[in-house]
Chains A and B, each alone.
Chain A
Amino acid sequence: MSIEHLTIAVLLTFLVATAIGIIVLRDLLAAVILTGLYSLVAAGAFIVMDAVDVAFTEAAVGSGISTILFLGALSFTQHEQKPRGRDSWLALLFVVITGGLLIFGTLDMPRYGSATSPAQTHPELAKRFIEQSADEVGPPNVVTSVLASYRGYDTLGETVVVFTAGIAVMGLLGLKRRRPEDETPEHAPGDLPHEPGHDTDRLT
């Protein structure tokens, strides 16, 4: 067992521990912070697996933006989860069956780092991208070549998905609503002193 495997094993153990923590905690604020931690640990695991682009996205989106958005959603509700009644055994049974099926599904997947997995041996995939993308597309970062050029159509779809999410949020929450305290000008360090009749609050 190499040091790399050991590192990944430790990181995955952290992930499981964090996930259990998120489930068990009643304090929603702490749970949100733990989801940020979860993403950060996952990003660390991706870096160990040499997937820096994925790790970058996970760190920026998972532990950055989505933590903020969770906190924003939390401000609509209370910080404490309501105490639940007794958990139903039937629900547990279904969760165990579903989880078992999902784990059963992973048994077909190639082993971690397998050199003989279909993605590695297929003549038109990894081998071709690594060997020919510099001549065909150019950028030294093969991920960019695949993302923006070879699979540019998919990325167009992803961009439209993000756009759709933005429209949905605008439709549901709206951007125009304002609170009265948002309207009053605020002073911050570096501002010029306020002169009557002259709007010095404007950022220059």
Chain B
Amino acid sequence: MKIYARQRHRVLQVITRLMVPFVLMFGLYVQFHGDYGPGGGFQAGVIFASAFILYGLIFGLQRTRRVLPPSVLRWLMALGVLIYAGTGVLTMLLGGNLLDYDVLAHDPLHGQHWGIFAVELGVGVTVTAVMVSLFYGFASKR
């Protein structure tokens, strides 16, 4: 993939510098506000990853790799699934069914809240890591 870098595209670089924090912030908003509005872990993961992809397109892979190294991505991919599955195992250990969040807190509604929070976080982490590593995979080879 053609990565625009070095001294060219000064305007794009400045705009990207400005945009990336807002994109990341919006990703976090979608992640943690998904209970109340549209969105959730999957959408948030994609938006979060798109910030890194934008950065990678404009500033080159090497800089992006320093922020989010592929070795870390590999762990994050597995971590998300582990958070999700771990929540399920935890509910079983606490005496409920798999992914029955009622048992996570004294009040079933609070338990549901914690459970959904953890599960969505797991989805978000895995999706972010997979999307960014898809980009790394395509961009680092040609």
Total contacting residues, chain B, CB less than 8 A? 71
- Structural contact, B133 and A68, CB atoms closer than 8 A: no
Determine whether A27 belongs to the interface, using a CB cutoff of 8 Å to chain B: no
- Structural contact, B140 and A139, CB atoms closer than 8 A: no
- Structural contact, B115 and A149, CB atoms closer than 8 A: yes
- Structural contact, A141 and B139, CB atoms closer than 8 A: no
A156 to B78, CA, bound (A): 13
**Which stretch, A3-11, A57-65, A88-96, A102-110, touches the partner chain B?**
A57-65
- Structural contact, A186 and B34, CB atoms closer than 8 A: no
A167 to B76, CA, bound (A): 12
CB within 8 Å of A: which residues of B? 1-2, 5-7, 10, 13-14, 17, 30, 34-40, 42-43, 46-47, 49-50, 53, 57, 59-63, 65-67, 70, 73-74, 77-78, 80-81, 84-85, 88, 98-99, 101, 108-109, 112-113, 115-116, 119-120, 122-123, 126-127, 129-131, 133-142
Apart from A65-B131, A141-B34, what 16 extra A-B contacts exist at CB < 8 Å? A65-B46, A65-B49, A69-B138, A72-B135, A138-B35, A139-B116, A144-B40, A156-B85, A156-B99, A159-B80, A159-B84, A166-B133, A179-B140, A182-B60, A186-B59, A203-B63
A and B contact pairs by CB, cutoff 8 A, 24 listed? A55-B38, A64-B46, A68-B53, A69-B135, A73-B138, A76-B141, A136-B112, A139-B36, A141-B35, A144-B40, A149-B115, A156-B88, A158-B123, A159-B127, A163-B77, A163-B81, A166-B129, A169-B137, A170-B74, A173-B137, A174-B141, A175-B136, A188-B17, A203-B63
